[in-house]
C-alpha cells in the first residue's frame, strides 16, 4: 500500500511539473527582457526618490502598472510567464544577461550625458 501511495504521489508530482503546462500568452524571451529591464529601472528610480520608504511602497505599484500597460501585458501573464520560465535556469540566465547588458548601456549613456 505504501508503494502504491508513493507511486501515485510521484506520478502526480511528475505530471504537475511537465513542460506541457505552458501558461496562456507565454511571453517571449525578448518581451521578458524588455519588461525585466523596465522593472529594474523603475525600482532604481523609486529607490532614488527622496521620499520615505512607506511612500515608495505606494508609488512603485503605480509605476509597475504603467510598465505592464506600456508592454501591453497583464501582470498576471507576466507572473505566469516568470513562474514558468523559472523552471529553466538557462533561459532565465540568458534573460538576465541580456537585461544586464541593456542596463549597462543605459548606465553608460547616463554617464556620458553628464
User: What confidence tens digit (pLDDT) does each residue in 14-43 have?
Assistant: 545 555 588 889 999 999 999 999 999 999
Whole-number Å distance between alpha carbons of 14 and 21: 12
Confidence check: pLDDT of 97 > 60:
yes
Query: pTM of the full predicted structure?
Result: 0.76
Quick one: pLDDT at residue 21?
A: 81
Looking at residue 64, its pLDDT comes to 96
Write down the pLDDT at residue 24. Answer: 84
Residues 6+ apart with CB under 8 A from 85: 32, 91, 92, 95
Mean pLDDT, range 92-108, rounded to an integer: 94
| 48-95 residue pLDDT tens | 999 998 999 999 999 999 999 999 999 999 999 999 999 999 999 999
Amino acid at each position: 500500500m505504501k508503494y502504491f501511495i508513493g507511486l501515485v504521489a510521484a506520478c502526480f508530482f511528475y505530471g504537475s511539473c511537465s513542460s506541457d503546462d505552458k501558461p496562456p500568452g507565454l511571453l517571449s524571451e525578448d518581451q521578458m527582457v524588455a519588461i525585466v529591464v523596465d522593472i529594474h529601472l523603475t525600482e532604481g528610480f523609486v529607490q532614488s526618490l527622496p521620499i520615505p520608504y512607506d511612500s515608495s511602497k505606494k508609488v512603485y505599484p503605480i509605476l509597475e502598472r504603467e510598465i505592464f500597460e506600456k508592454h501591453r501585458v497583464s501582470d498576471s501573464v507576466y507572473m505566469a510567464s516568470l513562474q514558468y520560465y523559472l523552471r529553466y535556469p538557462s533561459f532565465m540566465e540568458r534573460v538576465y544577461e541580456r537585461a544586464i547588458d541593456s542596463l549597462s548601456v543605459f548606465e553608460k549613456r547616463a554617464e556620458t550625458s553628464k
